[in-house]
A and B are shown apart, each in its own frame.
Chain A
Amino acid sequence: MSAFRMPGMLSALDRKLLRDLWGMKGQALAIAFVIAGGVAVYLVAAGMLNSLEDTRRAYYDRYRFADVWSPVVRAPRSLLADIRRIEGVQAAETRVRSFALIDMPGMDEPVTGQILSLPDIAEPAVNQIHLARGRQPQAGRRNEAVILQSFAEAHALEIGDRIAVTIYGGRETVTVTGIALSPEYVYAIAPGQLVPDPRLFGVLWMSRDALAEAVNQDGAFNEAVVRLGYGANENAVIRELDTLLAPYGAAGAYGRDEQMSDAFVSSEIDQLRTMGSLLPPIFLLVAAFLVNVVISRLIATERDEIGLMKAFGYSNAAVVMHYLKLVAVIALLGLVIGAMLGTWLGRLLATVYTEYYNFPLFLFKADPRVYAIVSLVTAAAVGGGAVMAVHRAARLEPATAMIPPPPTDYSRTIGSNITRLTFLDQQTRMILRQLVRFPVRAAFTSIGVAVSGALMIGTLFFIDSMEEMIDTYFNVANRHDVQVMLMEPRGRDAYFELLRAPGVLDAEPYRSVAARLRFGHRKERASLTGVVATAELSRVVDLERRPVASQPGGIVLSQDLADRLGAEAGDVLTVEVTEGRRPVLEIPITQVTTTFIGSAAQMHIEDLNRLLGESNVISGVYLKVDPAKTDVLYRQLKTTPAVAGVGLQSIAERNFTELMDQNIGMSIWVYSAFAGLIAIGVVYNSVRVSFAERQRELASLRVLGFTRGEVSYILLGEIAFLTLLALPLGAALGAGMAFGLSQAMSSDLFRLPFIIHAGTFGYAALVVIVVTAVSGLMVRRQLDRMDLVSVLKSRD
């Protein structure tokens, strides 16, 4: 028949389709938005994953980012040839690295800096920099440096500006010749920090000869960096490097997994992957369920029309296509909204990313494949839900379809005996029988609402968890205000000197050495820290926030380290110290405890010094400072030659909180909105369908003299019951999801504590209840407008 249609004219069926859609626009939109939620989340996660991975790969390749770093104390440059000969090494470079304190004018706080050498002749074979502006320092020019772009921007530094730097105890004034980015500082954080603060951390690149001279590394290097060949065995290369460089004070080579910047980028990528694989399926399953319910109802309503169409000679396929087309329009709408929303959110998120991750160019770009995948998966999920409903339309015989359906059979429903209980009133009985008669639909509705609550709990949990993490880390475990790191181990007098410094209220020394912990055949690099027995300012605490004091002669290990070593309390660890005289020690683990941030291997400072065969030396001091006198203290620290770096707790905490508010805060509100969408989609559609199915009964009740309130009870009682049922279910699902996320999102860098505040449950429950109430009231308005007479006199 379509052959005879005028071009541009809609067929009668298509016109019916458009009217059907218009008639169910609220429901169609609700479903489209749930689909859009899934599509958007997938696009953001997959697109961002895509962008981040592609950008990182291209950046690392182009600038020859190292695979292995091997710090040493001082090794002759001639070793480079030996390093290059190691099997699996594709390229190698040696360089000089040094800590520095930068004194920025107008700023009290000392800025921690890292200085790296650049070869004087050619570009480095490994770890090149991306020079955004300016030029490299001239060979041997001690007063020139290229600086990290984020640091330059934070201080509005331009080429030609001069900065005062304390290098190896000597104060230098350095002129900025260039501004650069580096694959080593995509996520640029000072040692021991978690969140980048470009104001307080800077990186400088200087001429090799000039830097070597300044830090007493003439003709030598203190770090080798290596790029591996394709398919090379990283562990084997690390072993070879350690053996080769052991005589020169090798602290132990490490791979990208321990390179701070890359570890953070990788952790972000893992989180995106988790998010991208966990959430979209939830949305699409809900959408499939909604499509199924709504289309089933539509087909039931249009039963006689379907009979008529078939009687007129429309084929089964034509009827099925008609309804599938309707679903396709809804799915397409969801896809389009989702694609726009996802792209917009992705771009928004990309701008947030560029604040924390420094790439030469970072754009949110979802691969066409990502769009293709999300379209296919959406089509499959929604189509699946539709086909299950539509095959009922195909099965209808025209003759049966045109006579009214018999009343739904409730006589053989399991559980109907329970509903015969005499104390029930008839309305409640109707609600309960509906539930036991259509248990699958009731279950899915309840689960759908529960999922939306769970999604909210699962995302809001991050706030609870992070707050706990921050509070424990900054206010219970690390109660100092300032951490002073010394250039090299010093005698006890350095501690007393700092204790007497202006504004210092209290001080605690610590000793820290690089070490390899070995248990059985497993090995882990760690920093072994010695603290005073009565440590107050910086200590290890357990999950209940109780300080865990190390026992004399023993070591306290954080859970993550213990897990990676496969060790537990009572085991004896082999500790290969990779500094100084490099002793190999056997130390028992006295306790294992979970730390939220970083790892810990801690013991008494006296024990550690004794085992190292050293007298009373310290690596640094934790200070408690009078807030009114910090500026004086900072000024003094900046000019103290022995100080290698300074960690400022309050600023670190503020940075962490800001990161949370901005980065995580945004995603939390986005996800809460999506969770709300699911709740609206499920509840609104469920009530609408229920209303459509029961319209006749509800009208009958009105005629029998039931008030609107009494009639609403039947309509809304069902969804209220299912919502109430969903609350504990959602709480359990949400807790499960939070637990799963706390595991999945935890990394070597930090562990998310599994903590959900009562307020989070309350908030999620409140949102679900409000959404249910609003959706219910929207449908109730239709109940109020219902034309009793026409409903009752029409055939079902």
Chain B
Amino acid sequence: MDDDAKDDHQNRPAALGCAIAGTSVNLPGIEPATCFRSSGLTKVYGSGHSAVHALRGVDLELPERELVVLLGASGSGKSTLLNILGGLDRPTDGRLWFRGEELTGASQRELTQYRRRHVGFVFQFYNLMASLTARENVALVTEIAEKPLSPEEALTIVGLEKRLDHFPSQLSGGEQQRVAIARAIAKQPSVLLCDEPTGALDSATGVRVLEALRDVNEKMQATTLLITHNAPVAAMADRVITFSDGRIREQKRNEHRKDPKEISW
């Protein structure tokens, strides 16, 4: 609460809110609009001798609807970038735009609204509510979203239409992760941010989860960013960004996206 109040006094772009409020328009057939644009994004944790430079000036432009895979070693900065893009963290320096509106400088409250309207998160650990069934876990989000899918639709997309009333304790790891994906997509997010969604899963289950993510990206046209340690996964992406030491080392586009079924690790 205190943070919110403080933030409201900071200078921030006057027009912020239109994109965050969800009125951006993408015209079909025309060059896809830019979803995220950043310039000189920097993130430093701590200060003095103990300062850790997680991001050292990242310039980036990500078009709408793409499936982007972020690769890199531990501590290379990819998770930090994802968190900043998702409004969970703020850069120390540099600027960031979402659909043309500046996110840097937004207040806590505005970031909460931004996450609520636009962002779907999937983490390595599924972070489901143990006391809610699959359906209810998804309903948690649809109850506060503007134009959500029904929980049943979202769970059907990830292939869990037969497990609607199961509690997390009754689901396998892969199923739990798919509930987490259903929860993330049920609000029809503009962006889907996945931090090692297959990290805790075996290869076969992981492929099932990747398929679900690809389907979501294709059907719902959500810009999807996917962090992974498994380089072969990059083959399913439109774009692959490799991080090293807080910087983008390499960025390339795949001509053809591979089916997750053809991927193994």
Contact = CB atoms under 8 A, between A and B. Distances in A.
B140 A704 contact: yes
Nearest to A705: B116
A699 B121 CA distance: 12
Nearest to B189: A705
Centre residue among A703, A705, A792, A793 by max chain B CB count within 10 A: A705
A789 B88 contact: yes
A784 B2 contact: yes
A487 interface: no
Given A411-B166, A429-B136, A706 B116 contact: yes
B132 A702 contact: no
Given A406-B169, A426-B140, A792 B132 contact: no
A411 B131 contact: no
Interface residues of A, number: 36
B131 A705 contact: no
Interface stretch (A217-225, A430-438, A616-624, A652-660): A430-438
A404 B169 CA distance: 13
A651 to B, nearest CB: 58
Interface string B98-124: 000000000001001111110101011
Interface string A779-796: 000001000110011111
B116 A410 contact: no
A702 B3 contact: no
A707 interface: yes
A707 B131 contact: no
B168 A704 contact: no
Interface in A681-709: 696-697, 699-708
A425 interface: yes
Contacts of B139: 426
Given A429-B136, A430-B132, A704-B183, A792 B109 contact: no
Contacts of A497: none
Nearest to A425: B143
A788 B127 contact: no
Contact of B115 (A430, A703, A708, A710): A703
A426 B112 CA distance: 19
A784 B109 CA distance: 12
A700 B79 CA distance: 16
A784 B3 contact: yes
Contacts of A710: 144
Contacts of A2: none
B34 interface: no
B182 interface: no
B141 interface: yes
Contacts, number: 101
B206 to A, nearest CB: 18
Contacts of B130: 407-410, 697
Nearest to A708: B1
Contacts of B140: 426-427, 701, 704
Contact of A700 (B3, B117, B127): B127
Contacts of B195: 793
Interface in A530-568: none
A696 B129 CA distance: 9
Contacts of B123: 792-793
A707 B119 contact: no
B230 interface: no
B152 to A, nearest CB: 14
Contacts of A437: 131
Interface in B116-170: 116-117, 119, 121, 123-125, 127-132, 136-137, 139-141, 143-144, 166-170
B143 A705 contact: no
A703 B114 CA distance: 10
A411 B167 contact: yes
Contact of B169 (A411, A789, A795): A411
B89 interface: yes
A710 B2 CA distance: 16
Contacts of A700: 127-129
26 contacts: A409-B130, A410-B131, A410-B132, A410-B167, A411-B167, A426-B129, A426-B137, A427-B140, A430-B132, A697-B127, A700-B128, A701-B140, A702-B112, A705-B114, A705-B141, A706-B112, A707-B109, A708-B1, A710-B144, A784-B1, A789-B79, A789-B88, A789-B89, A793-B125, A795-B125, A796-B125
Given A425-B143, A697-B127, A705-B116, 19 more contacts: A406-B169, A407-B130, A409-B169, A410-B132, A411-B166, A426-B136, A426-B137, A429-B132, A437-B131, A703-B127, A704-B141, A704-B144, A705-B114, A705-B144, A706-B116, A706-B144, A708-B112, A792-B127, A793-B79
Interface of A: 404, 406-411, 425-427, 429-430, 433-434, 437, 696-697, 699-708, 710, 784, 788-789, 792-796
The 7 closest A-B pairs by CB, nearest first: A705-B116, A409-B169, A433-B131, A407-B130, A407-B168, A705-B115, A426-B140
